[in-house]
Structure 1
């Protein structure tokens, strides 16, 4: 584990205790949870499917997918996040497999998935392009890649790194939809970008930065 990776792991482990206090993390409000559930039902296959949630955090989106009948595997670098995700699904009486590991190289062996989901993860990765190639390789034919991303803060404003060394990350501060589409397009058969910043229910209130989902098919 590199020094930067160790710092990132430590940061998210420390954040796990209060992570769900953010409206779009814990999905505790009925209208926020319902807004995300509507989107996931739109993006996920209609029939029960094998889903890989990379950078799953405390498992809030995994919970919604499992409640819809999907077979969910979550991966996160932070053990405390994984512990909370396991507890969250267990408390709800829902099945789910959660693994501690590098989301950029999920420790799922040769298993292939119908849907790979990632939310607000790419900006934390040392090599997001390699991660995208790896994720596409984990999908079955006709599989779907759903990347919920954004570009945080206002253009031209200085960015404060969240851990020492984060300024070296290629997409520190997030990635625009145009840049992500350029990176993903050679790997997939089609791409659709869906803006998400206009819906305050998703975020617990209005947002002014760029937020979107990129949906692609292999």
Structure 2
């Protein structure tokens, strides 16, 4: 398992320089950026609070949350991703805390959050159920999980993206029904928002399952 975690970290570290080339990663288009900002306005609390971005990548969603007034802590296993997230915040003149560590067990100590946000992360985790429990434990009373997930078009026959990734429980993604059942076991109410038909979010048309699950 240690080797698999190292492989995953190295993969995303190497992917950092080109990561933002994907329209929904870099949010380089004003239209796509505005679409994500509007979604976050719906999913995050109206009153600015503490947001933990688990698997923050280059910090694109964290930046939108911070611009809306939220206090953001981002965690990612890839140092190069964290470096780019910090650079984005510095360029925008915004404050944020970014930590290198396991997004499934964020190194945030006893800190509690109003929101734990994770986008397209669960499929990369060796134990997604444990991650969900860990995130729920970090929520303040009345807090919520915001999970943007899906089943990718190639998921019928997922190919390991790093050695050992074929062992991952949710390789290829996780459907809304399965994730909803897992989150419901934590005692949180669940709302699912279909995102498959929102081409602007992805910068292109998509033909696979994509959704947001808001719990709490």
TM-score (norm 2): 0.98
Counterpart for residue 89 of structure 1 = 89
Q: Aligned partners of 1:40, 1:61: CA distance in 2, in Å?
A: 8
Q: Aligned partners of 1:159, 1:169: CA distance in 2, in Å?
A: 11
SS in 1 for 2:190: strand
Q: CA deviation at 1:154?
A: 5.0
Alignment of 1:15-164 (within 5 A): 15-154=15-154, 157-164=156-163
Q: CA deviation at 1:186?
A: 1.5
Where structure 1 has 5 or more consecutive residues not aligned to the other structure, the ranges are: none
Counterpart for residue 212 of structure 1 = 211
Counterpart for residue 6 of structure 1 = 6
Give yes or no for contact 1:86–1:98 (8 Å, CA) kept in 2: yes
Give yes or no for contact 2:62–2:74 (8 Å, CA) kept in 1: yes
Where structure 2 has 5 or more consecutive residues not aligned to the other structure, the ranges are: none
Give yes or no for contact 1:67–1:94 (8 Å, CA) kept in 2: yes
Aligned residues: 216
Q: CA deviation at 1:188?
A: 3.0
Matched, 1:171 2:131: no
Q: Aligned partners of 1:194, 1:73: CA distance in 2, in Å?
A: 24
State the Cα RMSD in Å. 1.0
Counterpart for residue 192 of structure 2 = 193
Give yes or no for contact 2:118–2:146 (8 Å, CA) kept in 1: yes
Q: Aligned partners of 2:25, 2:33: CA distance in 1, in Å?
A: 10
Q: Aligned partners of 1:131, 1:115: CA distance in 2, in Å?
A: 15
SS in 2 for 1:109: coil
Deviations 1:148-197 (A, max 9, x none): 00001256x42211111111000000000000011110113310000001
Give yes or no for contact 2:72–2:96 (8 Å, CA) kept in 1: yes
SS in 1 for 2:81: helix
